[in-house]
Amino acid sequence: MKSIRYTASPLLTSQAPVWRSKLLVVGLALMFLTMIARAAYVQVFDNAFFRHQGEARFVRTLQLPANRGRILDRNGLLLASSVVAPDVWASPADVDADLAQRRELARLLDMPLDKLQARLAATDKSFVWLKRHVDAPVAQQVADLKLAGIHQDKSYKRRYPEGEAVAQLIGFTDIENQGLDGVELSLDQRLAGHAGSRRVIRDRLGQVVEQLGEEVPPIDGQDVQLSIDVKLQSYAYQKLRDAVDAQGARSGSVVVLDAQSGEVLSLANYPSYTPGNRGELKGPHLRNLAVTDAFEPGSIMKPITVAIALDAGEVAPQTLIETAPGRYKLGRYVIHDTHDYGTLSVQGVIQKSSNIGALKIAQKLTPQRMWETYAALGLGRRPDIAFPGATTGQLRLWKDWRPVEQATMAYGYGLSASPLQIAHAYMAFANDGVLVPLSLLRRADAALVPGVRVFSVNTARAVRRMLQMAVEPGGTGTQARPVGYSVGGKTGTARKQVDGGYASRKYRAWFVGMAPVEQPRVVVAVMIDEPSAGHIYGGTVAAPVFRDVVQQALRIRGIKPDLVVEPAIVASSAAEEPS
């Protein structure tokens, strides 16, 4: 073939117009200038929108959770603590897992496969929770799957090693570790701490590739040491549970106070719940009945009535009160005793628990004098303790009392109080007439806690002797006596209000007292609601729980027995006593 000389082509050898090359250069220059101007506009003059878009896609502010403070008993034993429990989440748009991997993930997270599939098909393709608070070993197994789009964040969940025994006292937290009930709620600010944070850039797979700025470290919550003795709390709970079950009752409460410092040593309630099981966190069993609910106390108010009269100089322990023939007409009402006790001394009124004797003593007093003493004992007002929902009870102003109401209040009807309020009121007898404020937190030096004098020393000691007579033979509380310790206390059997009236066969059984009698160290109140197994009186239903709890409380606190224990074999048939 004949060779072709391209350089000789007319098209290549022809001269292009100069204006055309200049136009091309100007066009390229304008294009670059436009790009530079656009870049300057985007990056310098108006970059807020584009920066926001970039941050929305790749910049994240990660919360660094604070470790919630521990709750300890008075001896440093653990009642509540936080453990690491990561949260597992997914970015559905980035999840790359076959069916077998998804099935394994669902198994580890303890959820049905179809539920997992539904979450991964969520409308929000950037974020969805798979499971909150996964145990650390399970979280590690999930991480070992190395599934794209599956992530974890550090988190904590609460553990309650003492379980049901302290449930209503300690309370619980929500999924975000914020207190919702009990001490967890009332002391939430101290326990919670403050979360930290850090800003990071994440790639499309959710991996952190760069940190922006300084990290703000979390501030862990403070530990809290309660006044509760968990060994005594567990023991009281077990005895209360056994009594409620044996008596076929609805519920029960036990309160134990340090008679000198005002510290709460035990607040036990039954039925209870498992605080770590969120499926149980509903229903009436969440209530701490010893603190949040008020009941008519019945005959346990009689020692207070007598103490007011003694302090007022209206009666003496040996003053005689006529109670025959066992009933007393007051207006259109008739008040009854369980027996015709005839003529009783004031101390006999307490020993036999005479309603008529109590109301006749109250008639010697003015309503104002009774009301002021009740109020000084903490009745009708909220206890000053770190606990949410503590009830005030009911105590109407004295100006509104009718004669029959003054009479019924003398033996415990027409007013209401919580078991904690009743136990606190009895502290005035145990502490020689001085009422010390309550505390759910351990007090470093109880001797420095100021109290309020309610009764004289002589009155408090006289009432203690009457309470001791009430548990001795001939009294209503003989089943309250522990081995080796002297005790004083009072039974109570109160009819329950139903639909505006009083039920004929529904009662609350009470026993409140202290030990040892000469120098009391503990005050204990026991309430059993609606016993239905054949016994109703405080002396047979509540007194045995008091006996066991008092004995254990004194042993735990190292109080030596004040009575000589003589071995003996006794066979007896305990008859029910009046209230």
Question: 3-state class of 253 per DSSP?
Answer: strand
Tens digit of each residue's pLDDT (9 = 90 or more) over 293-330: 999 999 999 999 999 999 999 999 999 999 999 999 99
**Structure token pair of residue 85:** 């429990």
Q: Which of 124-138, 346-360, 529-543 has the lowest mean pLDDT?
A: 124-138
Please report the pLDDT score of residue 93 as a whole number: 82
Please report the pLDDT score of residue 316 as a whole number: 96
Quickly tell me which residue has 């027409």 as its tokens: 414
Domain boundaries, the chain: 61-225, 230-272+285-556
Do the bridges between strand 224-225 and strand 71-72 make them parallel or antiparallel, or are there none, so unpaired? parallel
Active site residue 3: no
Please report the pLDDT score of residue 17 as a whole number: 74
Tens digit of each residue's pLDDT (9 = 90 or more) over 49-73: 666 555 555 566 666 788 999 999 9
**pLDDT above 70: residue 143:** yes
Tens digit of each residue's pLDDT (9 = 90 or more) over 218-250: 899 999 999 999 999 999 999 999 999 999 999
Please report the pLDDT score of residue 51 as a whole number: 62
Alpha-carbon distances of 74 from 68, 158, 439, 483, 525, rounded to whole Å: 19, 20, 12, 26, 20
Mean pLDDT of 151-164: 90
**pLDDT above 70: residue 201:** no
Which of 299, 439, 486, 579 is catalytic? The answer is: 299
Alpha-carbon distances of 394 from 28, 308, 397, 412, 495, rounded to whole Å: 91, 19, 10, 12, 17
pLDDT band for position 573 (50/70/90)? very low
- Residue, of 15 and 132, whose pLDDT is higher: 132
pLDDT band for position 275 (50/70/90)? confident
Please report the pLDDT score of residue 39 as a whole number: 78
| CATH number at 61-225 | 3.90.1310.10
**pLDDT above 50: residue 575:** no
Question: 3-state class of 95 per DSSP?
Answer: coil
Please report the pLDDT score of residue 525 as a whole number: 98
Mean pLDDT of 278-293: 85
Contacts of 328 (CB under 8 A, 6+ apart): 334, 335, 336, 356, 359, 360
> Whose CA is closest to 89, among 32, 145, 30, 129?
129
Mean pLDDT of 31-47: 77
Q: Per CATH, which fold does 230-272+285-556 belong to?
A: Beta-lactamase (3.40.710)
State the chain's mean pLDDT as an integer: 88
Q: Which of 53-62, 72-81, 444-453 has the lowest mean pLDDT?
A: 53-62
Please report the pLDDT score of residue 210 as a whole number: 59
Please report the pLDDT score of residue 576 as a whole number: 47
Tens digit of each residue's pLDDT (9 = 90 or more) over 493-531: 999 988 778 888 899 999 999 999 999 999 999 999 999
Mean pLDDT of 250-277: 94
Q: Which of 8-17, 198-207, 246-255 has the highest mean pLDDT?
A: 246-255
**pLDDT above 90: residue 272:** yes
Please report the pLDDT score of residue 57 as a whole number: 54
Q: Which long-range contacts (CB under 8 A, 24 or more apart) does 194-199 make?
A: 194/66, 194/218, 194/219, 195/63, 195/64, 195/65, 195/66, 196/63, 196/64, 196/66, 197/61, 197/62, 197/63, 197/64, 198/61, 198/62, 198/64, 199/59, 199/60, 199/61, 199/62
pLDDT band for position 276 (50/70/90)? confident
Q: Is there a common fold for 61-225 and 230-272+285-556?
A: no
Task: Kindly provide the residue ranges of all beta strands, DSSP E only, lying in 78-236, ordered along the sequence.
Answer: 78-84, 87-90, 128-131, 150-153, 156-159, 196-202, 208-216, 224-225
**Structure token pair of residue 327:** 């009933």
- Residue, of 415 and 17, whose pLDDT is higher: 415
Please report the pLDDT score of residue 246 as a whole number: 96
d(CA 512, CA 302): 12
Tens digit of each residue's pLDDT (9 = 90 or more) over 534-548: 899 999 999 999 999
Please report the pLDDT score of residue 283 as a whole number: 77
Percent of the chain exceeding pLDDT 90 equals 65
CB 510 within 8 A of CB 480: no
Please report the pLDDT score of residue 294 as a whole number: 94
d(CA 357, CA 72): 47
**pLDDT above 60: residue 205:** no
pLDDT band for position 16 (50/70/90)? low
